[in-house]
Amino acid sequence: MSRGRFITLEGGEGAGKSTQVGLLAERLKAMNIPVVVTREPGGSPGAEEIRKLLVRGEPGRWDALTEALLMFAARADHVARNIRPALARGAWVVCDRFTDSTYAYQGAGRGLPAETIRGLEEAVLGGFEPELTLVLDLPVEEGLRRAHARRGAETRFERFDTAFHEKLRTAFRKIAQDHPQRCVMIDARGAKNDVAALIWQTVAKRFNL
Q: What is the chain's pLDDT, residue by residue, as a tens digit (209 residues)?
A: 678 999 999 998 878 889 999 999 999 999 999 999 999 999 999 999 999 999 999 888 999 999 999 999 999 999 999 999 999 999 999 999 999 999 999 999 999 999 999 999 999 999 999 999 999 999 878 777 877 777 665 688 888 888 988 999 999 999 999 999 999 999 999 889 999 999 999 999 999 99
Residue 173's alpha-carbon distances to 68, 80, 105, 137, 200, in angstroms, are 21, 29, 13, 8, 20
pLDDT given at position 153? 57
pLDDT given at position 160? 87
- Extended strands (E) in 49-171: 92-96, 132-137
CATH ID of 6-207, from 3.40.80.10, 3.40.50.300, 3.30.950.10, 3.40.50.620: 3.40.50.300
- Extended strands (E) in 118-161: 132-137
Query: Side by side, which strands form the sheet with 92-96?
Result: 35-39, 92-96, 6-11, 132-137, 183-187
pLDDT given at position 149? 75
For residue 130, is the peptide bond before it cis, meaning its omega torsion is within 30 degrees of 0?
A: no
Task: Tell me the residue type at 133.
Answer: T
What's CA 109's distance to the chain center, in Å?
A: 15
* pTM of this structure: 0.94
Domain coordinates of the chain in residue numbers? 6-207
Give SS3 for 144: helix
